[in-house]
Amino acid sequence: MKPGDVCLAVTVAVIWGLAFVASRIALDEFSPPLMTALRFCVAALPCLLVPRPKVSWPVLIAISLTLFLGQFLAQAYGIAHGVPVGLSSVIVQSQALFTITFAAIVFRELPTPLQGVGIGIAVVGLLMICGTVGYDFSAGAFAVIAISPICFAIGNLLLRRAGGAPMFDLFAWLCLVAAIPLLALALLLDGPQATWQALRHMSLTGLACILALGGISTSIAYWLWGRLLRDNPAAQVVPFALLVPFVGSAASSVVFGERFGRLRLAGMITVVGGIAVMLLAKRRQAPSKPVLPGVT
């Protein structure tokens, strides 16, 4: 990779890591469905300028409901109900584990021995994290946020159905498809009056977080990541996603004063280590279809 592309890859990873912090701050003002809806409303604005990609509506809807709506709504609910921001970034990153597993089940793409080792390491790390559930957040909150990497993995596989659609156009329309049901869900669960009051009394901090999540973390960062994957071998780009949980954990420690016990910290490091082994295994095989990183 060129030095400029390396800087871009690191920048994208930092943006995605900091997005977990922005989400936590925004959730002080907005309910999970409303915050997620506003995020995608901002990210869908390019639809005013770009045409719908040549992808059928059923495929577009299926990708959007998993890769975006399911993934980010589960993240928002988990964080809103006490799952630490740094831990959330690690759990979402575990989507690589589920993507490889689902690909083996559905497409018979059996993992290599080294990938199998990585899966085993990541599972051990997740079990270590499970051992800390109940101390500062509930098992229910953990179960909800665990839906996020599963939806992410399913969306990764469905994304193959989009063919060679332009990345920027595709993601803009995926955001639009996700925003509509999320707005309806916010109105249904929160009520029209509460939704209007939240929008009316939005602070500058809340607005800045929504604009950052929608405009920077979703639209710009995904576009840059797509460009990097287009111009460089996937095996050189995808490992930079491993920076996301480290940035998210470090930022949450600084901003929110989060501290991790020995078992949880060991589990988080073990999960990231397992994912690193999986990515290194893919790097040796240089596949043509990378998985997207676990981001928010």
Average the pLDDT over 195-224 and give the result: 93
DSSP letters of the chain?
--HHHHHHHHHHHHHHHHHHHHHHHHTTTS-HHHHHHHHHHHHTGGGGTSPPPS--HHHHHHHIIIIIIIHHHHHHHHHHTT--HHHHHHHHHTHHHHHHHHHHHHH--PPPHHHHHHHHHHHHHHHHHHTTTTSSS-HHHHHHHHHHHHHHHHHHHHGGGGTT--HHHHHHHHHHHHHHHHHHHHHHHH-HHHHHHHHHT--HHHHHHHHIIIIIIIIIHHHHHHHHHHHS-HHHHGGGGGHHHHHHHHHHHHHH-----HHHHHHHHHHHHHHHHHHHHHHHH--S-PPPP---
Q: What is the mean pLDDT of the chain?
A: 86
pLDDT at 294: 52
Percent of the chain with pLDDT over 70: 93
Query: Per-residue pLDDT for 73 more than 80?
Result: yes
The confidence band for 285, taking pLDDT boundaries of 50, 70 and 90, is very low
Query: Per-residue pLDDT for 241 more than 60?
Result: yes
Query: Per-residue pLDDT for 284 more than 50?
Result: no
pLDDT at 235: 62
Query: Per-residue pLDDT for 134 more than 90?
Result: no
pLDDT tens for each residue of 245-265? 888 888 888 898 888 778 888
